[in-house]
Amino acid sequence: MAFIDSKNSKAKDRRYKVDLWLTDLNTVEVGILKQTQHRAKSRQFSKDMDVIGQIKEDGERKGIVAYREGLWKSDDKMRRRLVIKLFSEKMNWRGTLDMMLGRSLQLSHGAGGFPVTSYAINISGHEQIIPLDRSARQWPFMPERFSFFILTDEGPKLYKLRRKIVSFGVDFKLYDEHNRKIGLLDGKVISLGGTWKVRVDAAHASKELDIVLQLFCTMLKFNDDARRHILQLTKSIAKDKITPKLGSQETDLYMNPRRTR
């Protein structure tokens, strides 16, 4: 994937499309040996992964997105969580978005039961685990918001995604730490699977921001169900109908890296 040099004042805005499919009948998965081939190319491609879309630039496929279908459709409510992964066209792993049940429940409990989904994004070659959280603002008819930050050599870069109040699709505007609009995620309502045309100002373009936005767009396919899932869990725990517990993979993400092993 080619990236814009932000130091070049004549550079064009960063543009690409996240195109999600309605069905599994796609050229990435069709074929008896496809899943085996994907697992052979990347250990990040688990047995329960389902390829659901692609990243396109100038009409060419530059990456694919998949999610852990078995985990998301688990009958165990405290095990059910969303995990989305991004790969290159040659199946090299680029990044993962993990739903953090523990933090989602903590934030939702603190917000009085209002569902606050929280995610952790792990990017290949980037040391930071990037937090992505839904805002707990509860004013009626307020647009949905998410926020995250990316550590750079110049310090943390703060970002905010705010859904447009009036739009024909699921559109989000991207803002920097100075509340300046620097990008747009333009959702297309005519796409049954989900399609977002992404534009980011050239001065803010980076590999890390690209991957966060590509995973975020894919997450939007599950956004409503994810909110309902956290809402139901929060209510069930409050009524003592379910005991909180976390899987080992999520627990590892909370552990102190300096702890004695």
Average pLDDT over residues 196-205: 96
Mean pLDDT of 32-37: 52
pLDDT tens by residue, 95-142: 999 999 999 999 999 999 999 999 999 999 999 999 999 999 767 778
Q: Which residues contact 196 (CB under 8 A, 6 or more apart)?
A: 17, 18, 170, 185, 186, 187, 188, 217, 220
Secondary structure of 78-92 as H, E, C letters: CCCCCEEEEEECCCC
Query: pLDDT class for 38, splitting at 50, 70, 90?
Result: low
How many Cα atoms are found within 13 Å in the side-chain-facing hemisphere of 116? Answer: 21
Q: Is the pLDDT of residue 35 over 90?
A: no
Chain segment 57-95, per-residue pLDDT in tens: 999 999 999 999 999 999 999 999 999 999 999 889 999
pLDDT at 141: 75
3-state DSSP percent of the chain in helix, strand and coil, to 5: 25, 35, 45
Helices and strands (DSSP H and E) totals, the chain? 6, 12
Q: Count of alpha carbons within 13 Å of 119, Cβ hemisphere only?
A: 29
Give the pLDDT band (50/70/90) at residue 248: very high
Q: Per-residue confidence at 259, pLDDT binned at 50, 70, 90? A: confident
Instruction: Determine the Cα angle at 193 with ends 118 and 43, to 5°.
Output: 60
Distance CA 93, CA 41 (A): 9
How far apart CA 31 and CA 244 sit, in angstroms, is 40
CB 51 within 8 A of CB 218: no
Q: Where are the beta strands (DSSP E) in the chain?
A: 14-20, 49-57, 60-68, 83-88, 93-99, 118-123, 129-134, 145-152, 155-163, 172-175, 181-188, 195-200
For residues 193-213, average pLDDT: 95
In this predicted structure, the answer to whether residue 249 has a pLDDT above a threshold of 60 is: yes
- Measure the N-to-C terminal CA separation of the chain; round to a whole number of Å: 38
Taken in order of first residue, the domains within the chain and their CATH numbers are 14-253 (3.20.90)
In this predicted structure, what is the pLDDT of residue 8? 47
Is the whole-model pTM more than 0.85? yes
Please determine, for residue 165, whether its predicted confidence score (pLDDT) is greater than 60. Answer: yes
pLDDT band at 166 (very low <50, low <70, confident <90, very high): confident
Provide the pLDDT confidence category of residue 246 given band limits of 50, 70 and 90: very high
Query: pLDDT band at residue 5, thresholds of 50, 70 and 90?
Result: very low
pLDDT for residue 17: 96
Average pLDDT over the chain reads 88
pLDDT value of residue 44: 84
Asked if 86 contacts 211 with a C-beta cutoff of 8 angstroms, the reply is yes
pLDDT given at position 51: 92
Decide if pLDDT at 189 tops 80. no
